[in-house]
Chains A and B, each alone.
Chain A
Amino acid sequence: MADQNKPGLFEKGGKLYWLHSTIDAFDTFLRVPGTVTAKGAHVRDGIDLKRVMIMVVIALVPAALFGMYNVGLQTSLTYSLGWGFWNMFWYGFLRMLPLFVVSYVVGLAIEFGSSQIRGEEVNEGYLVTGFLIPLIVPVDVPLWMLALAVAFSVIFVKEVFGGTGMNIWNPALVARAFLFFSYPSSMSGSSVWVSKTWVPALKDVDAVSAATPLAIAHDGGLSALDAQYSFMDMFWGFIPGSTGETSVVAILIGALILVWTGVASWKIMVSSIAGGLLVGWLGQIGGATELPCYYQLVMGGFLFGSVFMATDPVTAAQTETGKWIYGFLIGALAVVVRLWNPGYMEGMMLAILLMNTFAPLIDHCVVTSAINRRAKKVKTA
């Protein structure tokens, strides 16, 4: 349909030219544009941003699928429903679907609208952001809140800066932060990330909530945690939490895809984990926590953040040395917040947002020192 509309109507001077960004977006989604090189290199690599972004979405799929299953599993466990595998998955799928729909519809509408205003092609960055947001918010967040959070983050974190590639903070994380700070009453406490009932048969049963391992460990220490969840439970992901974050295995599959394709920086992932382990270890020997340091990696959103959020190439440090520093500080800060903060037991979101803010500064230091080193080298040569 797009190509029938193309000549005349949507071209410059056509009646519906003002819609051209939208039409182009659908048109180029279906077929590679027929644009040929005009300046510079006459041949170009087959890679484009659509491919890069879809790789991230593919890397997120294992975590999303496992998350859907886990939503069903946690519900079934909490209310002793005794569901089978497909029942759990189907329940989780139905719970997640509205979140995905709201996230994409609201986000893409704003994205298309602002591309239209700027007269540019629609950037595919939101493909990833829209997929990330449902995975990092509580599964029973009211949809209107989600819509508001998405609108806020896309408008004020992305579009006002000029769209994908220009933003300073990770839009998906800001959406979560918006929910966290605006609606603490529906999102705070130990039962934050637990699915409550949506099952008709349980309509009259009082909502029960399960605490996340982070909350249990925060209140009761290692013994309380071990009593409820084993390390392997947390490793495989059979624990309450945000949809995408619970399964280490699923996240590692995603990490493998991202590192293999080169879309995300392995340096950020490795250094973030190193930072988390170091501070976790210091906390353990310093008596701030009873947990062995590797527990920090499997609880909460640490690994999900390290793999999918910290590595966003737009908001991360851009120099290779800078990536080591940036990742390390994210991991370290996240665990510092976890261990030495009495109120809020998850630090990943704030650590990444803070380091997003400082990434340009890190890069500036790296680049300046490289320039100074070079100036010295050239002088002595």
Chain B
Amino acid sequence: MRKFARYFPKYLRIDNFCLIIIIMSNNLDLKKGLDIPLKGVAAQKVVKTVDPGIVALKPTDFKGLVPRLLVKEGDPVLAGSPVFADKQNPQILFTSPVSGVVEQVVRGEKRKLLAVLVKADGKKESVDFGTKVPANADAVKELLLNTGLWGALIQRPYGVMADPALKPKAIFISSFSTAPLAADTDFVLGDALADIQAGVNALGKLTDGGVHFSVNKAVYSSTPFHKVENVISHVVSGKHPAGNVGVQISHIAPIRKGETVWTVSLLMVAAIGHVINTGKLDLTRKVAVTGPAAADPAYVVALPGTPVKEITSVSEGVRVIGGDVLTGETLGADGYLGFFDNQITLLREGTERELLGWAKPFRPKVHSSSWCYFSWLTPGKKYDMDTNLHGGPRAFVETKCFEDVTPMDIFPIYLIKACLAGDIEKMEKFGIYEVLPEDLALCDYVDPSKNDIQAIISKGIDLMIKEMA
């Protein structure tokens, strides 16, 4: 289609209707889903650029990684110097995002490596990886492995770190996020088009199935991302989780048993492209500081591993979440921004006990997607939500709500029950290969029985990994 556009630019400008018809062929309109009306969307401005004194590298950011430490306290590192590697695949390196000195190796129970803290020297020196465009798959692999960006490739099924020995069926990139208060990719990466293009070109060499690239239909006319070439593009519309790459895969090319696909976040595609274009590792990103408890929700430029305290001030009784409220991880006020995160959400801890909450006819401060309450009367309203569970855990009773927020061709409740039962065969049948916990995150939200669906799915996936290994 892109080629077509080059040959007939005038035609397209005059007759946009025709363009739309062509696009329709790769159109994905998802009807199910839910946009959680949360207060605190980040204003489109950068309020601060953080030059962190210390950054943390956390092996826990990468699922499936068993780290082997390559440095010791006191070692000097540059941006791009290896800090730890994967034990099973020692060629997969993880590198420091800044230049400085290894300050501390943080270990937890059973000496589990939790983080490596690097004290930045402020010189911003980088390892030079060269600006040669990698010519083939091996060159791309080598570059990614050495720069520490291999960890950016997520392999499905199971959502683990990609295996360098495999050739995936295809690579999927979603250029937008529909998660609550997610960073606006147009604002964050709109100026990085050249890097994204270089990244896409390189990734395309790793697979024969092509790079699938989805664009948000709602902003199709304004987003720069529809200019990305050498991709199989898809125009996607719908409520959350329409922006989730997993949901898109299940509609574009469902994963069969034995197949693997890789997914890469747009942020990481840009980082890969940046290394190719400049020869230097630069993971600097615009981080959206969001949420009802954020004093001034806006963007902050920071590195992964930056201490939360340097990004934003956190008051007492506020939970700091790396990522969005559905899938993010609790970082804590003393935590560090994760490798994949470009969002921090601040939420009040909801320990207050509301008198007769469930029995009140109206609860204007509490959102509910269920029509048992009256949130439907105020569709545009944003809510000052907190972390209260709003009920006690129960057995499953209402289960249709799961289907209403899962725009995939699966039966969520059957998959969930198969995971609970640890029944491998049923989990396979009901589509465990296609989902990650994030794709069913909304089930957590809507469940009146207050089950932790994501934790159940995650446990099921862990069992699959163990049994199928």
Interface residue ranges, A against B (CB under 8 Å)? 24, 28, 30-52, 54-55, 121, 123, 125, 162-166, 260-263, 265, 313-314, 318-320, 367, 370-371, 374, 377-379, 381
6 closest Cβ pairs, A-B complex: A48-B391, A165-B395, A32-B357, A41-B444, A46-B366, A46-B368
Who on chain A is nearest to B448 by CB?
Answer: A47
Quote the shortest CB–CB distance from B341 to chain A (angstroms): 14
Considering the chains assembled together, what is the distance between the CA atoms of A136 and B357 in angstroms? 31
Do A263 and B398 contact each other (CB < 8 Å), given the known contacts A32-B390, A42-B319, A42-B347? yes
Quote the shortest CB–CB distance from A21 to chain B (angstroms): 11
Q: Which of B352-400 contact A (CB under 8 A)?
A: 352-359, 363, 366-373, 375, 385-400
Quote the shortest CB–CB distance from A32 to chain B (angstroms): 4
Let me know if A123 and B353 touch, CB within 8 A: no
Q: Does B253 contact A (CB under 8 A)?
A: yes
Q: Which residues of chain A are within 8 angstroms of B394 by Cβ–Cβ distance?
A: 49, 121, 123, 164-165
Let me know if A40 and B389 touch, CB within 8 A: no
Instruction: Give the residue of A125, A165, A262 whose beta carbon is less than 8 angstroms from that of B370.
Output: A262
Who on chain B is nearest to A32 by CB?
Answer: B357
Do A165 and B373 contact each other (CB < 8 Å), given the known contacts A36-B388, A44-B388, A51-B358? no
Q: Which residues of chain B are within 8 angstroms of A379 by Cβ–Cβ distance?
A: 256
Q: Does B351 contact A (CB under 8 A)?
A: yes
Considering the chains assembled together, what is the distance between the CA atoms of A55 and B373 in angstroms? 10
Considering the chains assembled together, what is the distance between the CA atoms of A374 and B448 in angstroms? 30
Who on chain B is nearest to A3 by CB?
Answer: B353
Let me know if A44 and B450 touch, CB within 8 A: yes
**Residue with the greatest number of chain B CB neighbours at <10 A, chosen from A24, A34, A48, A379:** A48
13 contacts between A and B (CB under 8 A): A33-B353, A33-B389, A39-B455, A40-B437, A40-B452, A44-B389, A44-B444, A46-B363, A49-B394, A164-B397, A265-B400, A318-B399, A370-B409
Considering the chains assembled together, what is the distance between the CA atoms of A170 and B404 in angstroms? 25
Let me know if B352 and A44 touch, CB within 8 A: no
Let me know if B385 and A43 touch, CB within 8 A: yes
Q: Does B52 contact A (CB under 8 A)?
A: no
Let me know if A367 and B388 touch, CB within 8 A: no
Who on chain B is nearest to A312 by CB?
Answer: B397
Do A37 and B389 contact each other (CB < 8 Å), given the known contacts A164-B394, A165-B395, A262-B371? yes
Q: Which residues of chain B are within 8 angstroms of A125 by Cβ–Cβ distance?
A: 397
Let me know if A30 and B356 touch, CB within 8 A: yes
Considering the chains assembled together, what is the distance between the CA atoms of A45 and B448 in angstroms? 8
Let me know if B449 and A165 touch, CB within 8 A: yes
Quote the shortest CB–CB distance from B209 to chain A (angstroms): 12
Instruction: Give the residue of B359, B409, B445 whose beta carbon is less than 8 angstroms from that of A43.
Output: B445
Considering the chains assembled together, what is the distance between the CA atoms of A51 and B452 in angstroms? 19
Quote the shortest CB–CB distance from B286 to chain A (angstroms): 22
Q: Which residues of chain B are within 8 angstroms of A45 by Cβ–Cβ distance?
A: 367-370, 390, 445-448
Instruction: Give the residue of B319, B373, B386, B446 whose beta carbon is less than 8 angstroms from that of A51.
Output: B373
Do A52 and B388 contact each other (CB < 8 Å), given the known contacts A36-B350, A262-B372? no
Do A54 and B392 contact each other (CB < 8 Å), given the known contacts A41-B441, A318-B413? no
Q: A47-B390, A374-B254 are in contact. List 9 more A-B contacts (CB 8 A).
A: A34-B353, A36-B349, A36-B386, A37-B389, A39-B455, A42-B319, A43-B386, A44-B390, A165-B395
Who on chain A is nearest to B36 by CB?
Answer: A43
Considering the chains assembled together, what is the distance between the CA atoms of A379 and B180 in angstroms? 35
Q: Mark B337-349, 1 if CB is under 8 A from A, else 0.
A: 0000000010101
Q: Mark B442-465, 1 if CB is under 8 A from A, else 0.
A: 101111111011110000000000
Q: Which residues of chain B are within 8 angstroms of A44 by Cβ–Cβ distance?
A: 388-391, 444-445, 450
Quote the shortest CB–CB distance from A84 to chain B (angstroms): 32
Binds A, one of B54-62, B84-92, B152-160, B321-329: B321-329
Quote the shortest CB–CB distance from A231 to chain B (angstroms): 33
Let me know if A32 and B441 touch, CB within 8 A: no
Let me know if B444 and A40 touch, CB within 8 A: yes
Q: Which residues of chain A are within 8 angstroms of B129 by Cβ–Cβ distance?
A: none
Considering the chains assembled together, what is the distance between the CA atoms of A49 and B372 in angstroms? 11
Do A313 and B351 contact each other (CB < 8 Å), given the known contacts A35-B388, A35-B389, A45-B368? no
Instruction: Give the residue of A121, A262, A374 whose beta carbon is less than 8 angstroms from that of B392.
Output: A121
Let me know if B368 and A42 touch, CB within 8 A: no
Q: Which residues of chain B are within 8 angstroms of A50 by Cβ–Cβ distance?
A: 358-359, 391
Q: Does B121 contact A (CB under 8 A)?
A: no
Q: Does B38 contact A (CB under 8 A)?
A: yes
Who on chain B is nearest to A363 by CB?
Answer: B414
Quote the shortest CB–CB distance from A308 to chain B (angstroms): 15
Quote the shortest CB–CB distance from A3 to chain B (angstroms): 9
Q: Does B103 contact A (CB under 8 A)?
A: no
Considering the chains assembled together, what is the distance between the CA atoms of A367 and B389 in angstroms? 31
Q: Which residues of chain A are within 8 angstroms of B372 by Cβ–Cβ distance?
A: 47, 51-52, 55, 261-263
Q: Which residues of chain A are within 8 angstroms of B256 by Cβ–Cβ distance?
A: 378-379
Q: Mark B229-253, 1 if CB is under 8 A from A, else 0.
A: 0000000000000000000000001
Q: Which residues of chain A are within 8 angstroms of B452 by Cβ–Cβ distance?
A: 38-40
Who on chain A is nearest to B417 by CB?
Answer: A318
Quote the shortest CB–CB distance from A43 to chain B (angstroms): 4
Q: Does B429 contact A (CB under 8 A)?
A: yes
Q: Which residues of chain A are within 8 angstroms of B411 by Cβ–Cβ distance?
A: 319, 367, 370
Considering the chains assembled together, what is the distance between the CA atoms of A51 and B395 in angstroms? 15
Quote the shortest CB–CB distance from B39 to chain A (angstroms): 11
Quote the shortest CB–CB distance from A313 to chain B (angstroms): 5
Q: Which residues of chain B are within 8 angstroms of A24 by Cβ–Cβ distance?
A: 392
**Residue with the greatest number of chain A CB neighbours at <10 A, chosen from B388, B391, B393, B403:** B391
Do A48 and B392 contact each other (CB < 8 Å), given the known contacts A41-B444, A43-B36, A43-B38? yes
Considering the chains assembled together, what is the distance between the CA atoms of A51 and B357 in angstroms? 9
Quote the shortest CB–CB distance from A338 to chain B (angstroms): 30
Q: Which residues of chain B are within 8 angstroms of A163 by Cβ–Cβ distance?
A: 395
Considering the chains assembled together, what is the distance between the CA atoms of A49 and B447 in angstroms? 9
Instruction: Give the residue of B358, B388, B397 whose beta carbon is less than 8 angstroms from that of A54.
Output: B358
Let me know if B388 and A32 touch, CB within 8 A: yes
Considering the chains assembled together, what is the distance between the CA atoms of A48 and B363 in angstroms? 13
Considering the chains assembled together, what is the distance between the CA atoms of A377 and B409 in angstroms? 11
Considering the chains assembled together, what is the distance between the CA atoms of A31 and B352 in angstroms? 10
Q: Which residues of chain A are within 8 angstroms of B367 by Cβ–Cβ distance?
A: 45-46
**Residue with the greatest number of chain B CB neighbours at <10 A, chosen from A162, A165, A379:** A165
Quote the shortest CB–CB distance from B335 to chain A (angstroms): 14
Who on chain A is nearest to B403 by CB?
Answer: A320
Let me know if A31 and B398 touch, CB within 8 A: no
Do A40 and B397 contact each other (CB < 8 Å), given the known contacts A47-B370, A263-B372? no
Let me know if A40 and B453 touch, CB within 8 A: yes
Let me know if A34 and B390 touch, CB within 8 A: no
